Amino acid sequence: MAEELLPWLYLFNRGEDTQAYHRFGAHQVAPGQWRFVVWAPHAQALAIVGDFSAWQPLPLTAVEETGVWQGTFEAAAGQLYKVQITTGSGETLEKIDPFAFAFERKPGTAARLVAELDYEWRDRKWLAHRQQSRAYDQPLNIYELHLGSFKRHDDGSYLTYLEAIDEVLPYVKKMGYTHIELMPLMEHLLDASWGYQLMGYYAPTSRFGAPAEFQAFVDAAHRLGLGVIMDWVPGHFIRNTDTLAQFDGTPTFEYQDPHRADNVRWGTWNFDLGKTQVQSFLISSAMFWLQVYHLDGLRVDAVSNMLYMDYDAGKEHDRNQTGGRENLEGIAFLRRLNTEVFAAHPDVLMIAEESSDFPQVSAPVDAGGLGFNYKWNMGWMNDTLRYFSLDPSVRLAHPELLTFSWVYMHNEQFILPFSHDEVVHGKKSLMHKMPGDRYNQFANLRTMMVWQMTFPGKKLLFMGSEWGQFLEWRDWSQLEWRDLADPLNAAMQQFTATLNKLYRRTSSLWARDHSPAGIQITIGDSNQYLSYIRWGKGQDFLVVALNLMPEERQHFIVPVPRSGTYTVVLNTESYHFGGTWRRLQRTLRTRGVPAGDQPDSVEVVLPAMGALLIEQR
């Protein structure tokens, strides 16, 4: 057995094993026989304890000088186990298996034996389509979802993965989204961490069911035509002493330097991203979710924390060996991660949740970038929410909150996010951020969503925002579905679905998202109105006109690039969407008069605090 393991362990120790889950952890090697392989380089002795040994230690054997221990024992699928470690100082610890495929329900931390992850997939058509598509020139409209609080049973218990197939997927499909983004579903103990303080980097959380049931959820999503992205957290991990922390009695997964290891901001430990075995562990985890669970992408959490040595509290003056503030091993790790992922899966999404101005996050590694294909546009998000939360009279002094984003909108390949982070911890829901009375709050929200949908970049919206939920998001209870008994909330939901479907069918809103030629600003020097043209491939285009003030504008002139007949395809003030207009402008004919550097123009009534989307017939 040692001879069989040695070539792989050589690669693992060099940081070059990108599928370590095939060898580490617990694997059934024959009926009733399980092989256990654990990395604990500074341990004095290792054993497995579990149901199958009456929780008495079954010793593992060191594999030469590799830091790895292994043994084969009789056991059965479904039984629980832990790793017993005797440290160099003689202390005995019970730890999780870092490569476990499943765990018992919280608050327990024992791993559960999983016989196989050989699910019979039926998503071949989806995967073939994904391989033939380029994400950059396709629609990408993501519904961000926390599975534990989307819906719950009457007794407050969670939906299972299988129940979510019927409760979540048809709704997301009906609303017109292209993808679901799941907040982390890897095993974690603390509900209030929302899954961002992890212990199981290879195990879907047992809260909602078994691994095969999560595979069935992803499979069902694909067969409905929905992509599935999951948040993934390679920067830091939970502190609990029976998990990865001080795994073999010494810093094993975290930095040796306690100052660097300590993540004050989140109360966690930082991974040592320069350690080769940690690189194998984490890159293999990313590969695992893409290969075994057929995920369409990973949204990598807290990238800034991996890019900068001075990002965390108490580290404001930390510097690298060259005197800079960049975390050189973190940068190297991210480049290596993306290189390996795209070499194996060139058709997936690797999305950076990165809040700084670090350059070339979404540029290829061979061009000096980090290698992600998308970055969240946090600057656009912050400025947009600040602008729309202002009273209209105050907005007049702050047009830059909207127009500044034009300066850098093509610096990266962006996703425009209104995420969970913006509707929690006293920040108010999107609806509650809007100024004015209830009617004006909805009018503002509709116009802000048009701004998001027509601005260059892909889209993301957190659950509940689509109908204007007034309460902040609460992870401990389901969304306020009863809101939909209110006509304004129901109309807002209908508006979002209509806008989403218009986005999907209008190629000019996504085909040239990442090209300066994809947008032409025709009225941008006013602090009350905006107009611009979104260009698709060829001669496809859509004209956008926004009124950012609460007064209707009669005889408003909108520049257009061609003469002829136009149609208003969306008016945010339609009665059907909760507005006041029962008679809508439909057909517009050009005036034969140039405007805003365009050869022609149309005259419209621009609704108060509203938006028009205009297409040429």
Dist. CA 411–CA 595, nearest whole Å:
29
**Annotated catalytic residue within 97, 219, 272, 353:** 353
Token pair 């256990």 in the structure block, residue: 36
Angle between helices 487-505 and 438-454 (to 10 degrees): 10
**Sequence-ordered list of residues with C-beta below 8 angstroms from that of 57, at least 6 positions apart, any chain:** 47, 48, 49, 84
Dist. CA 281–CA 319, nearest whole Å:
26
Is residue 104 flagged as an active site residue? no
**Sequence-ordered list of residues with C-beta below 8 angstroms from that of 557, at least 6 positions apart, any chain:** 591, 595, 601, 602, 603
CB atoms within 10 A of CB 359: 11
**Sequence-ordered list of residues with C-beta below 8 angstroms from that of 199, at least 6 positions apart, any chain:** 96, 103, 109, 187, 188, 189, 237, 238, 240, 243, 244
> Does residue 282 sit in helix, strand or coil?
helix
Half-sphere exposure of 560 (CA within 13 A, CB side): 30
Is residue 603 flagged as an active site residue? no
> Does residue 147 sit in helix, strand or coil?
helix
| Identity of the residue numbered 344 | A
**Annotated catalytic residue within 187, 272, 301, 312:** 301
Pairing of strands 111-112, 80-86: antiparallel
| H or E element in which residue 571 lies | strand 565-571
Helices (H) and strands (E) in the chain, counts: 17, 30
Q: Hey, which residues are catalytic here?
A: 301, 353
